[in-house]
Amino acid sequence: MSSLAKALREERWERATVCLLLGLARAMSRVPPDSILGLMEAVEGVGDAQERKPQER
């Protein structure tokens, strides 16, 4: 059983949060910086990442 699954099953919310943040950090370290910026803008609802010109990113 994964650490995240165990933390959720035991309702250890702080540990579950740390597991999720660690997974997010690992995933973000594997993608190009422009991808992360586009994702952040999409989550924030700022502009449309697909409509922007590459030099504006």
pLDDT, tens digit, for every residue of 2-32? 999 999 999 999 999 999 999 988 988 888 8
Q: Cα separation of 37 and 7, whole Å?
A: 30
C-beta neighbour count of 7 within 10 angstroms: 19
- Please return the burial class of 31, using the count of CB atoms within 10 Å of its CB with bins 0-12, 13-18 and 19+: exposed
Q: Cα separation of 35 and 3, whole Å?
A: 28
Q: Cα separation of 8 and 48, whole Å?
A: 35
Domain map of the chain by residue range? 3-56
More confident residue, 55 or 21: 21
pLDDT at 1: 87
